[in-house]
A and B are shown apart, each in its own frame.
Chain A
Amino acid sequence: MNHLLREKAPITERAWQELDREARERLMPALAARRVVDFTGPGGWEHSAVNIGRSTDIDEPLEGLRARQRRVMPLVELRAYFSLSRTELADFDRGASDVDLAPLDDAAARIARAENIAVFHGWPTAGITGMAAGTFPQAPLPPEYRNYPAAVAKAVEQVRTAGINGPYALALGPDAFTGVAGSTEDGGLIVFDHLHRILEGPVVWAPGLSGAMVVSLRGGDFTLHVGEDLSIGYHHHDADTVHLYLEESFTFVVTTSEAAVALAPQ
């Protein structure tokens, strides 16, 4: 038994398989950051920190010595709790295909959004600097979706001029993604297609991202370090309800901030 305590839950093997499948289906489209940054891990639940190769002077214990302390990036543990009806879970074993898993879906959306926000915008409490805190000044995101290709082309040129090769990806917040998906330019060109040609890479739906971000996919610039990859654990249960959680541990390290340009809404 590991710390997730799954076998303590009053959940059958079949129901666990359905819960895991549902969680994967909900998480994978929403984990936008994992589509544009490098992924290292999983290092396991016991993995606690990432070496960043830095140290700080500290007071020496005795004269005639020099003391330095290593600095590391500690991983953060993130949990999204949810509760499911035991009656609904029992219906899995009767062959039901319409079991109400809305609380699991909501938890998956929350934790995916939180991971995206940490990577794109940062999480100061966790010591995470996001990609949007790059050295480039943020470029403006035009109000009209048909003008996105020009802004994205300019951002790509900014990254390329810094010597950072493509292909490039464009991460878009949900509203911008929906707007772009339904837009055409003056000449009838579909905005989505035009963006693909400029980027030579994907346009990514990114819940939690405010605005847009152009990112080089060459690798080595941004890394999501994962200890425990997303997992479902057991918290407690009563006669009617099982209380579970989605959990992961991670941190995010920026190596080359110039490899991304944030496009901020005006």
Chain B
Amino acid sequence: MAQSAGLHEPEDRLTPQVIDRHRALASVQEELEAVDWYDQRVAATTDKELAEILGHNRDEEKEHAMMVLEWLRRHDPVLDQHMRTYLFTNGSIVGEESEAEGRDGGGAGAGDGSLAIGSLKEARA
């Protein structure tokens, strides 16, 4: 599942930003995978105290996942744009897509009109 140590391309061909985003994406993947595993164990155990501990641990993994996800949002303008479109909405999630396209003029440029440039800082040389 999670390949936190594995890059799919030669490291010398990747920028520091891509490598940091890989670290964050792998971390989110690992945290959410842990949520799934804890969730199943909570459901399966017949020991009430163990279920409470596992449930507590599961919910902490959710916090960890969201912290890294927020880091990713701040470093990926397109992800930020999609999160703004779909998160914390109440209606049809699929319907949000057509509404977003309507707001953007039926494909008149990307997303909300932003050029999605964001940060250009390199963490390392």
A contacts, CB < 8 Å to B: 1-2, 4, 6-7, 9, 11, 13, 16-17, 19-20, 23-24, 27-28, 31, 34-42, 44, 167, 196, 199-202, 217, 219, 228-233
Contact = CB atoms under 8 A, between A and B. Distances in A.
A7 B113 CA distance: 10
Contacts of A196: 125
B117 A27 contact: yes
B55 interface: no
A219 B110 CA distance: 30
Contact of A2 (B74, B80, B112, B119): B112
Contacts of B107: 13
A42 B122 contact: no
B80 A42 contact: yes
Interface residues of B, number: 26
Contacts of A232: 109, 113, 115
A148 B42 CA distance: 64
26 contacts: A2-B113, A6-B105, A6-B108, A7-B108, A9-B108, A16-B108, A20-B110, A20-B115, A23-B115, A34-B117, A34-B118, A34-B121, A35-B121, A36-B121, A39-B120, A167-B124, A167-B125, A196-B125, A217-B123, A217-B124, A228-B114, A229-B115, A230-B114, A231-B114, A232-B113, A232-B115
A233 to B, nearest CB: 7
Given A2-B112, A19-B109, 8 more contacts: A2-B113, A6-B108, A6-B109, A28-B117, A37-B121, A167-B125, A202-B122, A229-B118
A232 B108 CA distance: 11
A202 B122 CA distance: 8
A201 B123 CA distance: 9
A118 B93 CA distance: 40
Contacts of A217: 121-124
B103 A230 contact: no
A24 B117 CA distance: 7
Interface in B63-115: 74, 77, 80, 84, 103-110, 112-115
Given A1-B105, A7-B108, A16-B108, A27 B115 contact: yes
Given A2-B112, A7-B106, A196-B125, A34 B120 contact: yes
